[in-house]
Amino acid sequence: MRWAQLLRRIYLVDVLACPCGGRRAIVADISDSEVVVAILAHLGLPMEAPPIARARSPGFDFT
Ligand SMILES: [Zn+2]
């Protein structure tokens, strides 16, 4: 099973669906962290992963 099919099956999100109605295509697989950081910086996106938080139930009260 392809990774996109797995994501759709688990998260109900079609990661290859484009807002224009077309289908996205994978053009590269970048695993070099320095390159990834450079791309994220260029796009103005966060370069650090979000902090890991504990799982909580839907009714969890933060107060
Ligand atoms: Zn498109």
pLDDT tens by residue, 8-32: 999 999 999 999 999 999 898 899 9
Residue 2 pLDDT level (bands cut at 50, 70, 90): confident
5 close to 13: Cβ distance less than 8 angstroms: no
pLDDT per residue as tens digits for the range 24-57 = 998 988 999 999 999 999 999 999 888 888 888 8
User: 23 - beta bridge partners?
Assistant: 17
Cα of 35 to ligand 1 centre, how many Å? 25
- Give residue 25 CA to ligand 1 midpoint distance, Å: 10
pTM of the model: 0.49
pLDDT of residue 1: 67
Tokens of 8: 């759709």
- Looking at residue 38, its pLDDT comes to 95
Q: How far apart are the first and last CA of the chain?
A: 43
Q: Phi and psi for 45 in degrees, rounded to 5?
A: -100, 155
* 18 alpha carbon – ligand 1 mean position (Å): 4
Strand-pair partners of 17: 23
Q: What residue segments make up the domains of the chain, in order of their start? A: 3-43
Ligand 1 centroid–CA 14 distance in Å is 13
| Centroid of ligand 1 to alpha carbon of 45 (angstroms) | 21
